[in-house]
Structure 1
């Protein structure tokens, strides 16, 4: 499903994020930036050693990436141009600033995209895998941040895509997009 808010296409698809042909894909990374399981491992494997080399340089400069923040690297062998790595929160019942930290992930990714003049970005479902963030709440936060970004009207992005690994997540994102569309955004 796709909607347009102030000239920005926002869509949700079920696909493999490592095959996205966009300016940047977002990696749901861990704070070490050295790869791991899930989306993080898949991106590092598909992108090759160039991504890891950039991550090592970032670690030398700033010691990794804190929860809620983001950094940008090359995409190596991926069809995207860049990978924006963000560290989502581990779900601990919602009382440890998890919503604010997840919101911060999306905000920092969008800010990095603007800083680099990117026109298109693809997000995975940040923190909803092994980090255990409830999927409906995560989808609502993601789409709320993106809606606010589009309504602000001053960014470089023209396409924001949510790449869902499974049908359940896709349905949640489609429901959020319908909600935004019905609200008249």
Structure 2
């Protein structure tokens, strides 16, 4: 099942892993990523320091520590310039690499934040369409591997963009989800 909900990703106690936009050094940062670090506790920062950073489009996994999920997948989203500098491909890689980690770690339920819509200023409608389509393409290839994918988005405007994208992309799959 794939769904979009307006909720706090740090409180989802039925999810195996959350996926959040990180900075390249995987340090505390700002916004949601800062909140993830605060909620997970200082052991998260210690583990992140051992990972050697993360490049745009890549993903790294850590324990969830004080969060209710088992894992946190950290991915570095591209900064939106104007859509002509490989932003789409890098964003697709964020999702694909996160989902590959989910398969590797036997993760069956995963919650994504609205990865590129914070400080990277990615337009929400474009980000949502790329995110939903990329995840659905991946799940279509591995239909029995992940049971639940949910976007947990705190803001109503961005949540609406993801809901609309889910509805639009669902038509491409003829009701697959």
Q: TM-score, normalised by structure 1?
A: 0.90
Please state whether the residue corresponding to 2:139 is helix, strand or coil: helix
Q: Which runs of 5+ in 1 are unaligned?
A: 1-8
Q: Which runs of 5+ in 2 are unaligned?
A: none
Counterpart of 2:34?
Answer: 41
| Contact in 2 for aligned 1:149/1:155 (Cα 8 Å) | no
Counterpart of 2:109?
Answer: 120
Counterpart of 1:6?
Answer: none
| Contact in 1 for aligned 2:128/2:161 (Cα 8 Å) | yes
Counterpart of 2:159?
Answer: 170
Counterpart of 1:68?
Answer: 57
Alignment counterpart, residue 32 of structure 1, candidates 25, 29, 36: 25
- Over the aligned positions, Cα root-mean-square deviation in angstroms equals 1.1
* In 2, Cα distance between equivalents of 1:35 and 1:95: 30
Counterpart of 2:6?
Answer: 14
Q: TM-score, normalised by structure 2?
A: 0.94
Give 1:34 shift: 0.6
Alignment counterpart, residue 51 of structure 2, candidates 58, 81, 91: 58
Alignment counterpart, residue 82 of structure 1, candidates 48, 65, 71: 71
Please state whether the residue corresponding to 2:27 is helix, strand or coil: coil
Cα deviation digits, residues 17-66 of structure 1 (max 9, x gap): 1111211011210000012111110100000011111101112xxxx100
